[in-house]
Amino acid sequence: MMLARKIGVLFSCMLCFASCERNFSDGLYGLHDTRIAFAPGTHSETDALHIIRPDGSDMQRITELADDDSMYVGHILWSPDGQTIAYSLWRTVAPAEYAGALKLISPDGSDKRILFEVDGLIYLWGYSPDGRYLLFEYVAGQSRDRILVVLSVTGELLAEYEGGTWFTSASWSPDGRFIAFKKSSDPAGQQFKQSKVYLADPAFSEVDLLTDEPLQEIYGITWSPDGQKVIYNVAERTPETTRRVNYQVRLSERVQRTFLAQTSWMLYPELPVFSPNGQRLALLAGNPTQLYVGNADGSNVVQITDARGWHSEPQWRNNSRTIFFRRNVPGSTIWRINTDASDLRQVTPLIEGSHGLDYAVSP
């Protein structure tokens, strides 16, 4: 009888522990270890780097005016281990002339250092999966040519590659073995820009054309969670209409296939963002854009927001159940919502003049 009572108590404790564990992972407390780094995008003295919790608490400014006065701060990235934030900043020094820098900083504002400087603009694309390298592009001086760079977090150059005359858009494969990127040109006599998708090793010693399909302007590139497919978003333009389509190319086939296209219920789909567990996707569509979620294969896509203003830049919390996004209504703020459309809430306050807010969610 005593043994049965002890077993019953033990079973009750196990149930309680399981319940507490569920509450920890599902509730706000489970999000408490998440941090969001953001810059308001005011192009003024308020445009500094901030850290905030997912419930909107404990907002702290971690860069000072003395360092970044009158600079635009953006292209924010967390290192895979969550210990470092990379960001770019630039100021206008003359009409069409800029001074840019790539900086690293700890989330508490310490250990701030310059990793790269250029008389031009810098656009960050991502950390390598192992956190050892940063992939970014820059355009220097009056040149329109973009240069792709792979640089170690300690400042050693691994590779540079001339990327074309328009934004490159690049993405690491999940295993870090490849970089997919686009090169764009603006041919004389052509009404629209032309883009192609390429595949390279991180040192750019081997660069291959991924697909020779005729394309127009590509707006973004990502990888399927298993690393077997490259997915990119294309604006197919005619003088009368613009059609947004997501295409996929399996590395083993090198054949372009439609992934997500414009339909009667989802206008102008943008590039999907896959959940950390690789099972779901988030994407934006519509006019104004709203947030959708679906399975990673593109099936069962459903709308989960229906709010005023444009939504953009969805990012997943690592529990694969919460999505953050930027909302312009006007002014830019960060919001969060669960994949079942519950718990919609504002995270960042509206800062006066904030129209180009940039942010990143910690891993």
pLDDT for residue 102: 95
10, 11, 14, 18 alpha-carbon torsion, rounded to 10°: -170
pLDDT digits (tens, 9 = 90+) for 41-89: 766 666 789 999 999 999 999 987 545 445 678 899 999 999 999 999 8
Whole-number Cα distances in Å, 141 to 99, 146, 258: 9, 11, 38
Question: Distance between alpha carbon 194 and the CA centroid of its chain, in Å?
Answer: 24
Integer Cα distance of 96 and 176 in angstroms: 35
pLDDT for residue 21: 34
The full DSSP string for 167-227 is: ---EEE-TTSS-EEEEEEE--TT-SS-EEEEEEE-TT-SSEEES------EEEEEEE-TTS
Integer Cα distance of 118 and 109 in angstroms: 23
Report how far apart the first and last C-alpha atoms of the chain are (Å, whole number): 49
Which of 33, 131, 30 lies closest to 361 in space, CA to CA?
A: 33
pLDDT for residue 3: 37
Q: Report phi then psi at 18, rounded to 5.
A: -65, -40
pLDDT for residue 44: 62
Q: What residues are paired with 92 via a beta bridge?
A: 98
Which of 183, 73, 179 lies closest to 134 in space, CA to CA?
A: 179
pLDDT for residue 104: 97
pLDDT for residue 350: 85
Cis ω before 330 (30° cut-off from 0): yes
Integer Cα distance of 256 and 282 in angstroms: 22
Residue 322 has which token pair? 């919460």
* Count of Cβ atoms closer than 10 Å to residue 168 Cβ: 25
pLDDT for residue 199: 95
Integer Cα distance of 206 and 46 in angstroms: 43
Cis ω before 187 (30° cut-off from 0): no
Integer Cα distance of 94 and 326 in angstroms: 31
Burial class (CB in 10 A: 0-12, 13-18, 19+), 21: exposed
* Count of Cβ atoms closer than 10 Å to residue 178 Cβ: 21
pLDDT digit string (tens) for the chain, length 363 residues = 433 333 343 334 433 433 333 333 344 434 558 999 998 876 666 678 999 999 999 999 998 754 544 567 889 999 999 999 999 988 777 777 788 899 999 999 999 999 999 988 899 999 999 999 999 999 876 666 789 999 999 999 999 998 766 667 899 999 999 999 988 776 655 656 778 899 999 999 999 999 877 777 888 999 999 999 999 998 877 777 777 889 999 999 888 888 976 665 566 788 999 999 999 999 998 878 899 999 999 889 999 998 888 899 999 998 999 999 999 887 889 999 999 999 999 999 987 767 778 999 999
* Count of Cβ atoms closer than 10 Å to residue 301 Cβ: 19
Which of 285, 277, 275, 286 lies closest to 324 in space, CA to CA?
A: 275
Helix extents (H) in the chain: 2-26, 65-68
